Amino acid sequence: MTASAPSAVELLRELGERAGDFLLSTPEVASDRVTLVDPLLTQWFGAQQMANVNAWVYCPLSGDTGNVGYERRASSWSFSDTALHLYNPGFPEPIQSGVYEIHMRWPRSRKLAALNSGVALLGNSWFRTVYAKTVTTRDNTYVYALDPTVNWQSFTAIELQITTDPSQIGFPYESTESYNPSITSHTDEGGVTTWYLQFGTLPPSGRAVRILATVGYDTLVGDGDVLPLDNSCAGPAVEWLYEYALHKLNVWDANRQPTGQLERALQLSQAHLMKALQDLKDYAKAGSTRRLIVPGHGTRTYSSLERGPGLAAYKMVH
């Protein structure tokens, strides 16, 4: 996994490390559904019996197959047999091998929710630029629905393939401004938004359309889901995400704190939020669209001399 595309499981574990409430366990003895036996847990829980542990135990993809994706809560720690006992009914299958995550303070599910709170905001400051080729023009067709799986945000340029000759590798695209393109969107009653590319003049059929746009980041769900950050901002963006997620966790946790501890919890949350805001000011990108460039100076677009002026990629901010 590259540094610019951290996975959900990598983000979750690093967030847990920063919060100081995370450890990995490798069961060494096959047991039942409510007992995780691991001698190394002595380093964390000590050499005494412990009741009311209330840690959260999660089975990732590297754990027992029948338990993957389940999160259960620990009830007590037994030093004599180095066993972490879970509340009934425990996991669906016996705990036998692999790796299990233990989250001491917050459930893993809440950490993922906190990360996704930040992911929803990432696209506002750390922009992800894509060149999408998801549309091919058809006969007598002026309007095209864009890929619904892409989280479209803004559009910078619409370009059209000049030739379909397969022997012409890397042949340039031209600007579509002579075909009067526009971008519109529609959100239905179910909350599903569909973006449409509308041409005012019929373009030639069978040509690939290349769209330069900025897109948002999708919600993290599975352990293998990745956050495809641009290399230029990956480090600062991830740092911001951790700070913001810690802020959200502390805010949510404050609602459960006794009155005497509430002020301290809120102060801690405020400190994380201020750090996240400062990171945003220091490192976030300035804008989501690009400056227009004169043709022939790095735009990769050229005039076809038949279909219009073929000017540089132009701004289309919706």
Q: What is the pLDDT of residue 71?
A: 96
pLDDT score at 130: 87
Contacts of 152 (CB under 8 A, 6+ apart): 146, 185, 195, 213, 215, 216
Mean pLDDT of 55-73: 95
Render the burial of 73-82: b for 16+ CB within 10 Å, e for the rest.
ebbbbbeeeb
> Is the pLDDT higher at 188 or at 234?
188
The CA distance from 16 to 227, in Å, is 18
Least confident of 31-45, 173-187, 256-270: 256-270
Mark whether 193 and 251 lie in a shared domain: no
Q: Does 238 share its domain with 116?
A: yes
**Has this prediction a pTM greater than 0.85?**
no
What mean pLDDT comes out for the span 122-146?
A: 88
Average pLDDT over residues 184-207: 91
Does one domain contain both 259 and 142?
no
The total of other beta-carbon atoms located within 10 Å of residue 89's CB is 9
| Segment among 6-20, 98-112, 208-222, 225-239 with least mean pLDDT | 225-239
What value does the mean pLDDT take over residues 144-167? 88
Q: What percent of the chain has pLDDT over 90?
A: 47
Tell me: do 117 and 231 sit in the same domain: yes
- Cα-based angle 76, 78, 84 (whole degrees, multiple of 5): 55
Res. 287 pLDDT band, cuts 50 70 90 = very low
- 231 and 116 belong to one structural domain: yes
pLDDT value at residue 265 = 63
Examine residue 89 and say whether the peptide bond preceding it is cis (omega within 30 degrees of 0). yes
Q: Which residue has the higher pLDDT, 123 or 51?
A: 51
Q: Are 155 and 272 in the same domain?
A: no
Give the count of domains, the chain: 3
Instruction: Answer yes or no: is 50 within a domain.
Output: yes
Q: Which domain holds residue 248?
A: 112-123+219-283
Judged by average pLDDT, the poorest of 151-160, 185-194, 309-318 is: 309-318
Same domain, 91 and 147: no
Whether residue 291 lies inside any domain: the answer is: no
